[in-house]
Structure 1
Amino acid sequence: MSRYVEPSSINGRVLIRDVTVADPLDGRRTPGQDVVVEGNKIKSVTATGAPVAGAHVVEGGGRFVVPAFMDMHTHALNTPEDVDGAYALMLANGVVGFRQMSGSRALLKSRHEGTLPQPTGAPALKATAGDLLTPLNAGTVDGVVQAVREQHRDGADFIKAGATTRTTFMAALKEANRLGIRLGGHLPADLDPREAAREGVWSVEHLGPGVTVFAAVSSREAEVRAMNATRKLPPIPKVTFPGADKLVMKLVKGMAVNPATGTSELEAHAYELADGSYDQNKAEELAALFVEHTTWQCPTLIRVHTQQFGDSPQHAEDPRRRYMAPRELRAWDKSAKKFSKLPDGTRTALRNHWTAQLRMTKTFADAGVPMVVGTDACGAAGIIPGFALHDEFDHLAEAGLDPLTILRMTTTEPARFLGEEGAFGRVIPGMPADLVLLKEDPLEDHTALRKIAGVMRDGSWWSRADLDAVLQRVAAKPGAH
């Protein structure tokens, strides 16, 4: 059960009548279609015709049906005991699946045993890592190799690099490749992203993060790289003791609210040097390398925006904060105050880096670098679960990506990314009954993706009125993390 989402009475056999099906795979619009759902699968998609015996009818009225959305970088299960609020906001915004970017042995065990919370309308956990690789478990080559082996044994879907060095990152990647488990996450400051790509890293998060990727596209690369390599790892314990893992997660959670609050003046100079010496030819060469080695990118532009504009009224006065748990807001406001105390030059360098991030995203998209949408919701300051996915769509459009590319990044591309191509992400028979009914054409303008008339999750239908009621309940008792 859920505190916020009432069970739907429209399930079982459902006919969504007279819709235009928008296919993210080929960009085709097919009007006048009836979508019939049986249980949790799409049974048929045919020209509008005769009634279907025993079916609940949802009148589409010519509106647009698309596959429901995936968020490929979240931390929803950081608080598995209180995930209901975040899940409710995800449902209300058409998000039906996610990749959990910070796991634990306990989380993997709970998933294996089938005891993860499943409130009404909950999205599907599509993939999760085990513990982040940090100085605690990745401080040495032997330690990181052991950590990768243990996570593989415990059933992790991938390994997430959080805070490593080039030496430990590459050792982890080599062992992950040997075991056949994917590795992605944060590239360390002293690692050349081209080396990571050539050795088979699965995904790069947040365009780096930091200046690591941008050093590789600078005409003054050696200088930028030397400056960037001085960046220190977070102050995480490197020795194991009783309760160390819990202490590390507490430290990581505190830093994750907004890592930009720890930006040094030297790091700020590295941003300025990299951005001022950007070389488009080198950027295109890097993009071509990522294409060649299928090095996925999850830009999380909403995440880097909330970091680099950490004290902006745009985030501090966001009316959607009313859905967030009070203790989350206190952490966010504390972080914003800390950000505002950074030197003016540091904050200016962070703000100016935004243009470079948009330019890089567009360069990658134009080159065909594989990319998925992610938000870093649930723990990061200024990011509202569910709604943040639509913020990400806006930023991708700001970078210059077209509506079809954006739709693919949250539907068919996540399926390919997770090795489940053909298993979800389209409105065709046999696919999961996870659908979003839109009031406007999503192939004409990406903003149509937020104009939701209804959501079907696992064969159950919630109308716009139902979804608005969900939002009202969350606002009345804010509990999202």
Structure 2
Amino acid sequence: MSRYVEPSSVTGRVRVRDVTVVDPLDGTRTPGQDVVVEGNRIVSVTATGAPVPEPHVVEGRGRFVVPGFMDMHMHALNTPEDVDGTYALMLANGVVGFRQMSGSRALLKSRREGTLPRPAGAPALRATAGDLLTPLNAGTADGAVRAVREQHRDGADFVKAGLTTRETFLAALREANRLGIRLGGHLPADLDPREAARGGVWSIEHLGPGVTVFAAASSREGEVRARNATRKLPPIPRVRMPGADKLVLKLVRRMAVNPATLTSEPEAHAYELADGSYDQQKAEELAALFVEHTTWQCPTLIRVHTQQFGDSAEHTEDPRRRYMAPGELRAWDRSAKKFARLPGVTRNALQGHWAAQLRMTKAFADAGVPMVAGTDACGAAGIIPGFSLHDEFDHLAEAGIDPLTILRMTTTEPARFLGQEGASGRVVPGMPADLVLLDEDPLEDHVALRRIAGVMRDGSWWSRAELDAVLERVAARPGAH
């Protein structure tokens, strides 16, 4: 049961009548269509004819139907015992699936046994990693290899590199390739992203993070890398002992609220040097390499914005904070105060880096680098689950990404990214009954993706009025994480 989402009364066989079907794959709009779902699948998409007696009909005239949205970088299951509020906000914003970026043996075991929470309207867990690679489990090359083997054995869909060095990252990557499990995540400060791409890394998150990717597009790359080399891994235990796993998890989650608060002045100078020496030709060469090796990018622009503008009113006074659990807000507010105490040179470098991140995102998009939309919601300061995916769309548009590409980044591209091309991401027979009904044309303006008239998740339908009621219930008992 869900504390916030009432079970749908519109389920079973449902006809969405006289709607314009938008296909993200080819960018076409087909008006006057009836989309019929039965159970959890689309069974037909046909031209609208005379009304047909059906148990459930959703009127779609003048509206547009698109596949449900995917958030490809989340931590919703960091709190599996209390995920209800997060899932409710995701449903209300059309988010029907996600990639869990921080897993564990316990999480993988729960998935195998079918005991993960699944309240009404819950999104689909599309992929999850095991334990984050850190100095505790991957402090040496041999340790990194063992960690990858353990995750492969436990059924992880991919391995996430978090706090590694060039040596341990590449050792983990080689073993992952040998075993046939994907590896992605954070690039270490001492690793050239071109080496990671040639080595077969699956995905790069947050455009790096840090200055690592931007150094490769700098005319003064050697100097940038030399300054960035001062970046140190946090003081995480390297020796396993009773309770070490829990300690590391606590430290990582505390840092994850806003890693930018740990930025040193040498790192800040590295940002300034990289941004001031941007070389368009080198950026294009890097993008071409990512295309050649199918090195996916998940920019999470909303995440980097909340980090680099950590004490701005835009985030600290966001009215949507009313949905968040009180403990989350206390952690966010402590982080904002810490960010405000950073030296002026550091704050200026972080905030000045925003323009470079938008520029790099656009360069990658123009070159055809494969990209998916993600937010880093759940544990990150200022990021409201569900809503944050639409914030991500806004920032992608700010970077100059067109509406169709944005729609693809949250529908068809996630399916391709996960190796499930042809199994989701379109409104065609056989696809999952995960749909979003929009009041406006999403190919004209990405803002239309916010204009949600209703959401179908796994064959069950919630109208706009019902989704608004969900939001009111979350606001009355704030419980999102």
Report the TM-score when normalising by structure 1: 1.00
Q: CA deviation at 1:371?
A: 0.1
Matches within 5 A, 1:91-102: 91-102=91-102
Q: How far has the Cα of 1:293 moved from its partner? A: 0.1
Amino acid at match of 2:445: D
1:159 matched to 2:175? The reply is no
One-letter code aligned to 1:303: R
| Structure 2 counterpart of 1:9 | 9
The Cα of 1:177 is off from its aligned counterpart by: 0.2
Match of 1:177 in 2: 177
Deviations 1:24-75 (A, max 9, x none): 0000010111111111101111111133443301011220000010000000
**Which residue number corresponds to residue 351 of structure 1?**
351
* Structure 1 unaligned blocks of 5 or more: none
Match of 1:278 in 2: 278
Deviation per residue, 1:100-153 (Å, 9 max, x gap): 000000000000000000011000000000000000001001111000000000
Residue 254 of structure 1: aligned partner: 254
Q: In the alignment, which residue of structure 2 is the partner of 1:198?
A: 198
Mapping of 1:6-405 within 5 angstroms?
6-405=6-405
CA contact (8 A) 1:71 1:97 kept: yes
Contact 2:15/2:54 (<8 A) preserved: no
Give the Cα–Cα distance (whole angstroms) in 1 for the partners of residues 150 and 51 of structure 2: 54
Corresponding pairs, count: 481
Alignment partners' CA distance in 2, 1:185 and 1:52: 50
SS of the residue 2:35 aligns to: strand
1:256 positional shift:
0.1
Contact 1:264 1:346 survives alignment (8 Å): yes
1:466 counterpart letter in structure 2: E
Query: Within 2, Cα distance between the matches of 1:142 and 1:169?
Result: 11
SS in 2 for 1:359: helix
1:98–1:124 CA contact under 8 A, matched in 2: yes
2:472 corresponds to which residue? 472
Distance in 1 (CA, whole Å) between partners of 2:165 and 2:7 is 48
Q: Scaled by the length of structure 2, what TM-score is found? A: 1.00
Assess if the C-alpha contact under 8 Å between 1:43 and 1:429 holds in 2: yes
Summarize deviations over 1:204-245 as a string: whole Å, max 9, x none.
Answer: 000000000000000000010111112000111111000111
Shift in Å, 1:443: 0.2
Q: Is contact 2:442–2:448 with CA below 8 Å preserved after alignment?
A: yes
Q: Tell me how far apart the structure 2 counterparts of residues 40 and 49 of structure 1 sit (CA, whole Å).
A: 24
CA–CA distance in structure 2, aligned partners of residues 301 and 54 of structure 1: 43
Corresponding residue SS for 1:159: strand
What's the CA shift for 1:300?
A: 0.1
1:41 touches 1:429 (CA, 8 Å); kept in 2? Answer: yes
- Equivalent-residue separation in structure 2 for 1:49 and 1:336 (angstroms): 57
Aligned-partner Cα distance in 1 for 2:374–2:54: 39
Separation in structure 2 between the aligned mates of residue 245 and residue 441 of structure 1, nearest angstrom: 48
Q: Which residue identity is paired with 2:76?
A: A
Q: Measure, in 2, the Cα distance between the counterparts of 1:217 and 1:52.
A: 59
Instruction: Output the CA distance in 1 between the equivalents of 2:449 and 2:408.
Output: 12
* SS of structure 2 residue aligned to 1:240: coil
The 8 Å contact of residues 133 and 160 in structure 2, kept in 1 or not, is answered as yes
Please give the alpha-carbon distance, in whole angstroms, between the structure 2 residues aligned to 1:52 and 1:301.
45
Please say if residues 35 and 45 of structure 1, whose CA atoms lie closer than 8 Å, have aligned partners that are also in contact: yes
Q: What is the letter of the counterpart of residue 436 of structure 1? A: V
Amino acid at match of 1:281: Q
Does structure 2 retain, via aligned residues, the 8 Å contact 1:433–1:457?
Answer: yes
Paired AA for residue 187 in structure 1? L
The question of whether the paired residues in 2 share the 8 Å contact of 1:32 and 1:62 is answered with no
User: 1:160–1:184: 8 Å Cα contact kept in structure 2?
Assistant: yes
**For 2:150 and 2:181, how far apart are their aligned partners in 1?**
12
Q: Is the 8 A contact 1:10 1:56 kept in 2?
A: yes
Map residues 394-473 of structure 1 onto 2, 5 A cutoff.
394-473=394-473
Which AA in structure 1 matches 2:422?
G
Deviations 1:293-315 (CA, angstroms, capped at 9, x unpaired): 00000000000000000000000
